[in-house]
Amino acid sequence: MIHVETIETTSLGDRSYLAHDGRAAIVVDPQRDIDRVLALAGRLGVRITHVAETHLHNDYVSGGLALARLTGARYLVVAADTVGFERVPVADGAEVRVSESMRLRVAATPGHTFHHLSYLLDGPDGPVGVFTGGSLLFGTTGRTDLLGAQHAHSLAEHQHASVQRLADLLPDGARVWPTHGFGSFCAATQSDAPSSTVGREREVNPALRLAADDFVTQTLAGLDAYPAYYQRMGAANSGGADLIDLTPARRADPAELAARITAGEWVVDLRSRKAFAYRHLTGTVSLGLDGPMATWLGWMAPVDAPITLLGDSEQQVAAAQRELARIGIDRPTAAATGTPEQWVGDDRRLGTLTTATFTDLGAARAGRPPHGLPAPEVVLDVRMSNEWHRGHVDGAVHIPLPELPDRLDDVPAGVVWVHCGSGYRAAAATSLLQRAGHQVVHIDDAYATAADAGLTIVPAQENA
């Protein structure tokens, strides 16, 4: 019997897979921290004989090459891509026998990239499912603009044809195992289910329900910005990434932390945003490990910028190092653990962050600001453009969070109340603004409550 185990990386919205028959195993699209894969194979008592890539990934550094080298597995990579390492080149129509009971069939599924592949998994009784990478996702497909906006239209046409092909090749009961789509910016839209089959996708997926022209139009209209570090991932993966170093980062004392903050470096507080609001080291940036820290930090911080991590424990800093290594930020410059009081050396550099709700904002705009909260002179929305266009607070200023570090001068003077969709991005934004000298209030609340708070919302049809 064939079993497929899922290795989730929720912070990046990706999944890797280990398929096995109790003895031999194949790993598909492994993340860079392959110790998780090796531990799983060890628990299952299986030997990894093959590692397969569906494409050269844009959103993370692959662990495929390192895993193949360490285990002696055959490394399956699309033949049409130019890479800087030895691999087993595979192309459309190839068949790979993993074991007596397990076989892969290779299908060209261009769309997410030009040379994207999917792997159809067959067992003793026929097709079991398909590893789709960034092609057929749950209720959506992989985005088609990562290789440049000039290719987005033609790749969207390819994407539609590829998904149609997969549906033709497989029975309705075949499982669908995508790599992207669980919060990843590689998805055209967000995933709508925890699992799926080809039959379910026939009912819900636009690529299987819409004509090609309609699918292309819908796909291109839904695309928003994607993280800046994606531009570096393709090169890293085509060159081949080796093992990562997850040994503890060098520890910084209060004097060093103060110097780095004074120099304007990225000193990142990994604690929850509520802990940050209560007390933090002045000049630090709030990017809690309870959210997609690596995505937003990797997007905002310049390439090779020194990054210092502050956490309440060694485990928290180690987890952050792992997250950052997945996107090619291999080693933090320094780190410190403990409490703000231990990091500061003296209390003069300890700060707090004023927080509020959308109800507070509604009351303040009605001339009844809650006690202790300064009246809002600017409302700053740091959500992404698609979110803004679906509706926003009347009179708000819009600067997407990834653009904020370079657009601090665009924020009007006065008391700035900052919001996003849930509070996480707004915490990062308020800390950046506070560091720049603005008086800020963090709206730590869900945007869905804004309309009920008495605020006027500009609806989508008025945004044209």
**Domain co-membership, 364 together with 343:** no
**The CATH number of the domain where 217 resides is what?**
3.60.15.10
Residue 246 domain flag: no
**Domain co-membership, 293 together with 386:** no
- Judge whether residue 463 has pLDDT over 50: no
**Domain co-membership, 377 together with 229:** no
How large a percentage of the chain has pLDDT more than 70? 98
Q: How far apart are CA 38 and CA 352, in angstroms?
A: 43
DSSP 291: S
Residue 245 domain flag: no
For 458, the domain range is 355-462
Contact 282, 349 (CB under 8 A): yes
- At 33-79, the pLDDT tens digits run 999 999 999 999 999 999 999 999 999 999 999 999 999 999 999 99
**Domain co-membership, 389 together with 340:** no
Question: Could you please report the per-residue DSSP string of 414-436?
Answer: S-EEEE-SSSHHHHHHHHHHHHT
What is the pLDDT at residue 464? Answer: 43
Run of H or E including 346: none
**Domain co-membership, 199 together with 304:** no
Average pLDDT of the segment spanning 350-366: 95
**The CATH number of the domain where 326 resides is what?**
3.40.250.10
Domain closes at, from 285, 317, 351: 351
- The β-bridge relationship of strands 440-443 and 378-381 is unpaired
The b/e string for 69-80 (b: 16+ C-beta within 10 A; e otherwise) is: bebebbbbbbbb
- At 111-146, the pLDDT tens digits run 999 999 999 999 999 999 999 999 999 999 999 999
Q: How many CA atoms lie within 13 A of 462 on its CB side?
A: 8
**Domain co-membership, 364 together with 345:** no
- Sign of the dihedral defined by the CA atoms of residues 366, 367, 371, 376, in that order: positive
Contact 64, 36 (CB under 8 A): no
What is the pLDDT at residue 386? Answer: 93
Closest among 26, 16, 76 to 48, alpha carbons compared: 26
171, burial (CB in 10 Å: exposed 0-12, middle 13-18, buried 19+): exposed
DSSP 448: G
Residue 284 domain flag: yes
- Judge whether residue 187 has pLDDT over 90: no
- Judge whether residue 221 has pLDDT over 50: yes
Per DSSP (E only), the strands in 70-149 are 74-78, 88-90, 95-99, 102-108, 117-123, 126-133
**Domain co-membership, 320 together with 408:** no
- At 430-441, the pLDDT tens digits run 999 999 999 999
**Domain co-membership, 210 together with 280:** no
**Domain co-membership, 170 together with 150:** yes
- The β-bridge relationship of strands 391-393 and 457-459 is antiparallel
Overall number of domains in the chain: 3
